[in-house]
Structure 1
Amino acid sequence: MTSNAPVRARAGHPVSKSGARRGATLAFAAQGVSVAAVYTTVPAVTEHLKLAPLLTTALLVAVALMAGGGSFLGLAAIRRAGPVATMRGAVLTAAVALVLIGWAPDEATVICAYILFGLAVGALDVGANARAAAIERAYGRSIFGSFYTAWSVGGVVAALLTAGAARLEWPVGVGLSVQAGIVSLLAVCIREHALPTSSAGPSDTVAQPPPGRRLWIRLIPFGLVLLVVYVVDSTVSAWSSVYLRQTLAASLTVAPLAYAAYQAGTVAGRAATDRLVRRFGAAVVVRTAALMVAGALAAMAAAPSWPFAVLAAGAVGLGASVLAPLCLASAARLRPAASEAVLARLNLFNYVGVITGGAVSGLLGSTGQFRLAYAAPAVLAVLLLAAARHFLPDPVTPRVAGTSGWRRFRRATG
């Protein structure tokens, strides 16, 4: 006897792949808004509180360090409460941190606010990526890029809001409060949906077997790519507004546009990622993206004025956008039964890259050498060509017995 009632998981939540995908997409969008809100308001917060350049650098490095710790807090929260509850709690905490940063009356308060933000973003990072990996397995095809597209759209919206708030001469606290409201609204809209039991995979369960040593060896190529990607990302994200303001003499209204262009480039790149991977294979996509990033960073370093830097930042985003999703998706598939643990540890490369890029760029910028800060990562981007061979052309579709590799690839790419 069949029933037309909605299928529900044992926890009482409706089973829906599309619903789960919507919830994860909202979490990624909230992360994009919150991260962009913090990075694009660095010049305004610095000028408002009259922070020393080295303290500003230390604050952004502290965010990355705390995010590393928050990643493991998120892993513990996932095992206790599940990925969706972890995402929702982390998003709401990030919103609180944005308000505290905007209205901080002194250095001590703003330091605590940035630390809180780093912890929240780290927990959200591992929660959202673990959930995305489980959803991708449920779909049986590459969809990781779509989640990061939402991240980038959120970043563009937040950067434009920062520019608009500066244009209207709003206090930085008002602008960040508006963005915190958007983040909170997204958190409220995240709903719990279970994945089909046959497809969700064991990553949705609580207890997972510990990953072995051989797995970490297999993770190294992906980790190195992720490290370089986040060196590039932190250099552009955290310091492009300051670069335009200090080196290229842009106004506070114009300064956030480089970040907006960077995120707009990532929207375009990530929207096409899944389609490009299915058509050409991940290795080809990674090689092309690496060359594009190297050339665009060189152009950004040599920009004679802020409009050229804004265009170059967009090109950097277009190339860099595909690399992180492909790394995370590939790593999660190495051990589906322990994807949360794998992603939490792989995120260490992420935060090392953020710390390295943010700290080096900040130190160079404080001595007036921002151009060198953008030229150096261009060399690192070229090195990614060597790691491209580790990205398989069809990592999602299961192997079918008696089917040749070429036929499997043709079947996956349609």
Structure 2
Amino acid sequence: MSFNASPRAECGYPDSKVAARRGAALAFAAQGASVAAVYTTVPAVTERLGLAPLLTTALMVAVALTAGGGSFLGLVAIRRAGPVATMRGAMVAAAAALVLIGWAQDHATVICAYVLFGLAVGALDVGVNTRAAEIERAYGRSVFGSFYTAWSVGGVVAALLTAGAARWEWPVAGGLTLQAGIVLLLVSLLRTHALPAAQAPPDAGGQSSLGRRLWVRLIPFGLVLLVVYVVESTVSAWSAVYLRQTLTASLTVAPLAYAAYQAGTVIGRAAADRLVQTLGAVSVVRMAALLAAGALAALAAAPNWPFAVLAAGAVGLGASVLAPLCLASAARLSPTASEAVLARLNLFNYVGVVTGGALSGLLGSTGHFRLAYAVPAALVVLVPASARHFTRPSSPARRESLPRTR
């Protein structure tokens, strides 16, 4: 499959939008794969280096904290070089971090490697979401879900590769080096494609200053994103450890909960854009939140690892649509400065990751991993209260036709 646009595409024709969308999907897939590679190898890295449970928890928290800083580094890079160049650089840095994590021989090296990964994934996060917001504006309809589908597909593939490497008794260094190679392959396929001129709403220019009123309007999205990433962090960072320690699963089986979670997100996100067009964003958010809450409760009560794997898949199915719809709606608050909006909104993301990762790690280190999944279930029940703030994009053609019909 070629990702090069035709000469006409560079002038903003429809095939340029398609090529840009494919390129952004590659970057989302690379981010999902790299995050999954890190989280699903936590048990193996912990056992190989003899990391104490509290140090492992601290490392996961450090990844989230440095990702917050990386988000603002990404914002600076976008303003200087654009989102595509930012995505390329961040993907290369993430691949380097994967190799360093796998080959680290001491605690100091692995700490530095996880910090590098946090910075890289934070920069990549704001880069891919900014590019996705640009592409959605060019399309004039909901396409954010398709990008996060690519993210989840990357996560599923990486989690299965981790499980396969453990089954074949590969050292963790070999498995992470392979995953880094996949990320670099995706970098080599990434191209820059021109987009049609953004069709922002007439009042968008007045919001470009990002004043206090806009930040007040961001609060509901920030709170939803915080809860979503408490769930994401709890399942992603600790599901493998939960299966290994609480449900006595083998190293081969332990990554399967993460794989099932990401498989659920693939299904949910693949259907998200169509559901939004059919039912509206508000209804989709409410139904998804209730499904996620019930599945988290089932995960907390899982009697064995097969039940936990199924419950993790159901969590992914429900929680998967919340983040892309949240980011898309927030970006539409100020289309002319979406990269700044998304970078600041990402702070809620990383607060959620830190909260979920730290809480789950602390509870797990004291033998209470089940409670670590029951608490997020209660938080997700609160999400429907913010659903009314979610919006969906209107077609450019429809916007242009409205004045003429009056």
What secondary structure is seen at the aligned counterpart in 2 of 1:334?
coil
Q: Deviations over 1:320-374 (max 9, x none)?
A: 0000000000000010000000000000000000000000000000000000000
With over 3 angstroms needed to count, the CA separation of the structure-2 counterparts of 1:114 and 1:84, relative to structure 1, is: same
1:179 partner amino acid = Q
Task: Tell me how far apart the structure 2 counterparts of residues 105 and 326 of structure 1 sit (CA, whole Å).
Answer: 41
Hey, which bits of structure 1, 4+ residues long, moved more than 2 A? 4-10, 197-202, 394-404
SS of the counterpart of 1:109?
Answer: helix
CA–CA separation in structure 1 for the residues paired with 2:285 and 2:313: 18
The question of whether the paired residues in 1 share the 8 Å contact of 2:140 and 2:393 is answered with: no
Question: Counterpart of 1:106?
Answer: 106
Aligned residues of 1:201 and 1:337 also touching (Cα < 8 A): no
Q: Which residue of 1 aligns with 2:356?
A: 357
Cα drift, residue 6 of structure 1: 3.1
Q: Is the 8 A contact 2:134 2:198 kept in 1?
A: no
After TM superposition, the structure 1 = structure 2 runs for residues 15-414 of structure 1, keeping only pairs within 5 Å, are: 16-197=16-197, 199=199, 209-392=208-391, 394-397=392-395, 400=399
CA–CA distance in structure 2, aligned partners of residues 130 and 379 of structure 1: 31
Gaps of 5+ in 1: 203-207, 408-414
Cα distance between partner residues in 1 of 2:102 and 2:164: 16
Deviation at 1:52, TM superposition (A): 0.2
The CA distance in 1 between the partners of 2:318 and 2:132, in whole Å, is 22
Give TM-score scaled by structure 2 length.
0.94
Tell me if structure 2 keeps the 8 A contact 1:33–1:155: yes
Instruction: Give the gaps of 5 or more residues in structure 2.
Output: 1-5
Distance 1:395 1:18, change over 3 A: closer
Q: Distance in 2 between matches of 1:303 and 1:7?
A: 51
**SS of the residue 1:197 aligns to:** coil
Q: Percent identity?
A: 79
Q: Please, what is the CA RMSD of the aligned residues?
A: 2.2
Q: Distance in 1 between matches of 2:313 and 2:165?
A: 22
Answer yes or no: is the 8 Å Cα contact 1:15–1:196 preserved in 2. no
Distance verdict in 2 for CA 1:198–1:45, change over 3 Å: closer
Whether the 8 Å contact between 1:8 and 1:15 is mirrored in structure 2 is: no
What is aligned with 2:3? Answer: none
Contact 1:224 1:349 in 2 (8 A): yes
Contact in 1 for aligned 2:74/2:126 (Cα 8 Å): yes
Match for 1:240: what amino acid?
S
SS in 1 for 2:195: coil
Q: Aligned in 2, Cα 1:8/1:402: closer, same or farther, shift over 3 Å? A: closer
TM-score, normalised relative to structure 1: 0.92
Size of the aligned set, in residue pairs, is 394
Aligned residue number for residue 410 of structure 1: none
Instruction: Give a deviation string over 1:69-94, Cα, whole Å, max 9, x none.
Output: 00000000000001000001100110
